[in-house]
Structure 1
C-alpha cells in the first residue's frame, strides 16, 4: 500500500499504475486459464486475446480520431519567409507572384488595399473574421510575429487573413462530398496581415478606449503553411502492428492444434497395435 501513496514523482506513479493494471487484469485472466490448460498454452491464448483487443481498440481510435493521438494540424512558419515586413518581401518570399503597381505618393492604407486586391487577383480567399479558420491563423501568426520581434504584445492587430490551396484529390465525379478516396492535398498557405495600433493611455476609473489602427506605419505580413499533422498515425500503427501479432499468434495456435491431433492419432494407432 505504500507504493500507491507515491505522488511526488508523476512518472513513477504512472509507471506503477500501468504495471499494477497489467498484473491484475492480464495476470488474473492468465492464472484462471493456466489452471485449466497449462501455463504455456494459457500464456499463448491470453497474449492472443490481448493482441485482438489492441486491434479492435486501435481500429476504433483510427476511425474516430480519439484515444492515442498524434500531433494535430497546425500552422507552421514558411522557412526564411515567415514575417514579411514590406511589400517587396511578399514577392521575394513567395507569397505573391507579382507586386501591385503602387504609386509613389500612395499612403500606407492605399498600399495595403492594393496588396489585398493583388492577393484576391492571384486566387487568395479573404477569410471571415468570425470564422474558426481566421482565429486559428490569427493565433499562430501572433506567436511568430512576437517571436521574431516585429511587434510586441498589444502593439498590433491581425486585420486580414488571406487563404489559398489545401484542395483534396482525387474526387469522385468532381464532387467534394464524395472525398473518401481523396488522400492527397495541395499545399495550403495563409498570409495574415498585421497592422500596428495606436497605444491608448488608460485612466483610472474609466473604461479603456478601443485601440485604433495606426495608418502611418507599414503593415507586416505573416506567411504560413498548413501542417496536416498525424492525429491517426499512432492508432494506425497500433492496429496494423496488433493485427500482425494477432495473426501470428493465431497461426501458432493453429499449428499447435495440428501437431496435437497428429500426436494423438499416432498414440492411438500404437496403443491399438
Structure 2
C-alpha cells in the first residue's frame, strides 16, 4: 500500500506547455506576417524578406541587450577564492598577500578609537550608557547594559570602524598598507559573503555554521583607480572618462579575514551573546580574485551573428533583384 501511495505521488511533467507556448507564439506572430507577404510576393521572396526582417529586429534587440547588460546574459562578476590561509599570511600562495601584515601586528580598532580623539568614533565606540539616559533601569540592569556596550566597543573590527570614522583608520595608515587598503564593511559585502560560503564549504577548517566564527577585516588591492575623497564635478568627469577609456582591467584581489569564537551558553528565551573571538584560534584569511565575468558576451554574439545573417539575406535579396531587372531588360529588348 505504501508503494502505491509513493507511485501515486510521482508525476511526469516535461514542461510540454512551455515548449508549445513558444512554438505557437513563433508560428502565429512570424507565420502570420510570412503568410501575408507570401500571398503577395510568393513563398521564396516572402521567406527571404521575413527572415531578413527577423534578423534586423534581432540586431536591434541584441544591441539593447549588449548596451544595458540585460536579456540573455552571461555570468555576472563574482569573487573567486584562490587561497585560504590559516595563521601567517607570509605563507600565502599569493605573493601579493604576503605583503599584508598579520592581524596581530596592527593595533586593534578599539585602540585606534581611544588614541584618535575623534568625536564621531568616540561617541560610537567609546561611550557607555548612563543612568540619566536610562532612568527606568535598575543599578544591576544598567551595569549589565554598560558591560555589554563595553564588550561591543572592544570587539569592533577595523572595517567596522572604517565604516563609521574613515579618517581614524586612514590616519593610522590602514589606507596604504603597501599595495593593500582597508575596506569598510559597507564596501566588502559581496566579498565577505563569498568568503563565508567558501569557508563553510571546507569542513577541515572546523566551522560548521556562521555562528562558529566572526568576520574581522577585509583588504583589497588592484582594480581600476577609485574616485578620490570629496570629489568635485570635474574629478567625477575625469574619473569616468579615464576608466571608460581603459581597455584592460587590472587584476583586483581581496582578503577577507575571520576567526573562531568562544563557545558561550545561550540561556533559553534570551538573545544569543555577542560573538567574541577566541585568541587561541588562528586568523583565517580568504584570498580572492575578482572575476569580471562575461555578462555582455552572449548579447554581443547575438548582435554580431544576427547582423551577419541580416547582411547576407539583404545581399541575397539584392542579387535576386538584379537578376530580375536583368531578365526584365532582356525581355523588353527582345520585344523591341
| TM, length-normalised to structure 1 | 0.83
Is 1:152 aligned to 2:208, yes or no? Answer: yes
**Aligned pairs (5 A) from 1:129-144:** 129-131=185-187, 134-144=188-198
Tell whether 2:65 aligns with 1:8. no
Counterpart Cα distance in 2 of 1:155 and 1:83: 17
Partner of 1:124: 180
Tell me the distance in 2 between the aligned counterparts of 1:184 and 1:99.
25
Which residue matches 2:84? 83
Matches within 5 A, 1:45-60: 45-60=49-64
Per-residue CA deviations over 1:21-80 (Å, capped at 9, x if unaligned) read: 2111111110110000000000000000000000000000111111110000000121xx
Per-residue Cα deviation, 1:92-145 (whole angstroms, up to 9, x for no partner): 442434575x8xxxxxx634659x9799422211111123xx110001101111
Q: Paired residue for 2:240?
A: 177
User: Secondary structure of the residue that 2:40 maps to in structure 1?
Assistant: helix
**Counterpart pick for 2:329 among 252, 265, 269:** 265
Residue 185 of structure 1 aligns to a residue whose secondary structure is coil
Measured in 2, the distance between the counterparts of 1:99 and 1:227 equals 21
- Tell me what 2:74 maps to: 70
Residue 218 of structure 1: how far off its partner (Å): 1.2
- Structure having the higher helix fraction is 2
CA 1:112–1:140 in 2, change beyond 3 Å: closer, same or farther? farther
Kindly name which structure, 1 or 2, has the bigger radius of gyration based on alpha carbons.
2
Structure 2 Cα separation of the partners of residues 35 and 204 of structure 1? 80
Cα distance between partner residues in 1 of 2:202 and 2:107: 25
201-210 or 241-250: bigger deviation: 201-210
Would the alpha carbon gap of residues 113 and 64 (structure 1) be closer, same or farther in structure 2, given more than 3 Å must change? same
Q: Deviations over 1:190-228 (max 9, x none)?
A: 000111112332222222222222223211100010000
Aligned residue among 145, 168, 187 for 2:251: 187
Q: Deviations over 1:208-251 (max 9, x none)?
A: 22222222321110001000000001100001000000011111
| Counterpart-to-counterpart distance in 2, 1:139 and 1:97 | 23
Matched, 1:241 2:305: yes
Partner of 1:3: none
Q: Is the Cα–Cα contact under 8 Å of residues 214 and 275 in structure 2 kept in the other structure?
A: no
Aligned to 2:28: 24
Distance 2:222 2:100 in 1: 20
Secondary structure of the structure 2 residue equivalent to 1:126: strand
| Residue number in structure 2 paired with 1:110 | 104
Whole-Å separation in 2 of the counterparts to 1:200 and 1:263: 94
Give the gaps of 5 or more residues in structure 1: 1-5, 103-108
Is contact 1:96–1:119 with CA below 8 Å preserved after alignment? no
Alignment CA distance shift 1:86-1:257 (3 Å): same
Structure 1 range deviating more: 244-253 or 207-216: 207-216
Per-residue deviation, residues 245-268 of structure 1 (Å, max 9, x unmatched) = 001111111111111111111111
Quick one: structure 1 residues 250 and 213, their matched pair in 2 at CA, closer, same or farther if it must change by over 3 Å?
same
Please tell me whether the aligned partners of residues 89 and 285 of structure 2 are also in contact (alpha carbons under 8 angstroms): no
**Aligned equivalents of 1:191 and 1:66: distance in 2?**
30
